[in-house]
Structure 1
Amino acid sequence: MKRNLPNILTVARIVLIFIFLILAANAGDVDSTTLSTRDLVIRIIAGCLAIIAGATDFLDGYLARRWKVVTDFGALMDPLADKIFVTATMLIVVEFRLMPAWIAVVVISREFMVTGLRMLAVKKGVVISADRWGKLKTAMQMVMLFLAGISWVNLYDLRVDVVWGIRLWYVWLVFLWAIALITVGSGLGYFIKYRALIRPDEPVENN
């Protein structure tokens, strides 16, 4: 059971995300200023599923490390499940006009490029561990998705609400720009540090 539980959680994350997408696609009109009870309930359920899916990301990795359980399936599917999660949730945030599309493209592109670099590293026996900038990027993305999610379920409206005389949308855009810059910077950091994976004439530093 211990050997299979992290993999089960990984598969469950993918299933939850697809259920989330189905619910989100039927959670009311994008331009609607008021939500029906039905749409509100659907959004709350979808939001809870996204939170659970995000939690499994941390839990399956924690259990795999604690129990020293590493499988080929987990090594392949866990990063893919992470990318599916990020891509799906950001596309919904973009669809409901809570994020400019270019920021989603930047974040998603970085995720897949770094994943490709990690796959290349594995072939050469190199382990690329997350550095502090990568961890900061992940933390900020999770905060961003959480804030966008609670706005989406209508607890507040990022687009129109004002706090202390400041429109939340402007604060939100600054936060999104910070995420984009850190995302790009952390991605470049990996490619610079592990450039020898692409240029075999240089020695590779293994962490």
Structure 2
Amino acid sequence: MNLPNKLTLFRIILIPIFVIVFYLPIKTTFSVLDLSIPLTNIIGTAIFAVAAYTDHLDGKIARKYNLITTFGKFMDPLADKLLVTSALLLAIELRLMPAFVPILIISREFMVTGIRLLAVTDGKVIAASYLGKAKTTTQIILIIVMFLFNLQAETTYMFFTQFDVYHLIVDILMVLATILTIVSGLDYLLKNKHIVFQTK
């Protein structure tokens, strides 16, 4: 197994560790400016950031040294989806974001994965688009900021109900991630509609 594929597997291994950290009985918190950040959030966010960076790293190494494999083509995007989906579901449980944002994102990923699988059956590989990359980057930034700011709602998190700088940053990132999710999903569907509908 080459290095890029090992990095992909390492990213998958980090996912349960990232999630479990948030359930550890550690009560230590740090006060930074007006924020109270639990130690578990700091550790968990660091693990998530490392996992997200391996996505950039494995792709870069694979392209530079011509180490692209069928395993990597399939497992790399799957690992990304597992990482982001796990973080989003955890954010719902911690009341850090409204549920409809992850629902949109996860639905989009299922659609894209379905189209990719259809393409594979025809012997085709669909390259990632710039919109898709922008969407992923925005989601990763949102997740890191969200867990570090730790702006837990008392009931359900709602957009633009509080107007301090921290809530505004998170809300703007959520809106941007949602828009990019919808736009990139529609762009992906339209560009590959011939695969979906089996037309020339």
Q: Which TM bucket (shorter chain)?
A: 0.7 to 0.9
The alignment's TM-score, normalised by the length of structure 2, stands at 0.82
Is the 1:89–1:145 contact (alpha carbons within 8 Å) kept by the matching residues of 2? yes
Aligned length: 186
What is aligned with 1:88?
A: 86
| 1:48-127 alignment runs, 5 A limit | 48-127=46-125
Runs of 4+ in structure 1 displaced over 6 angstroms?
Answer: none
Query: Is it true that 1:166 corresponds to 2:163 in the alignment?
Result: yes
Is the 1:120–1:197 contact (alpha carbons within 8 Å) kept by the matching residues of 2? yes
What is aligned with 1:138?
A: 136
How far has the Cα of 1:171 moved from its partner?
Answer: 4.8
Query: Is it true that 1:36 corresponds to 2:28 in the alignment?
Result: yes
Cα deviation code 1:7-40 (max 9, x no counterpart):
1111110111111111112266xxxxxx535993
The alignment's TM-score, normalised by the length of structure 1, stands at 0.80
1:166 alignment partner AA: F
How far has the Cα of 1:170 moved from its partner?
Answer: 4.5
How far has the Cα of 1:95 moved from its partner?
Answer: 1.4
1:13 alignment partner AA: R
2:81 alignment partner AA: K
Gaps of 5+ in 2: 31-36, 155-161
Aligned-pair identity (%): 38
Deviates more, 1:75-84 or 1:47-56: 75-84
Aligned CA-pair RMSD:
2.4
Gaps of 5+ in 1: 29-34, 203-207
How far has the Cα of 1:139 moved from its partner?
Answer: 1.7
Cα deviation code 1:122-168 (max 9, x no counterpart):
2213332222221221121121112112113xxxx4769xxxx9324
4, 7, 11: which is aligned to 2:5? 7
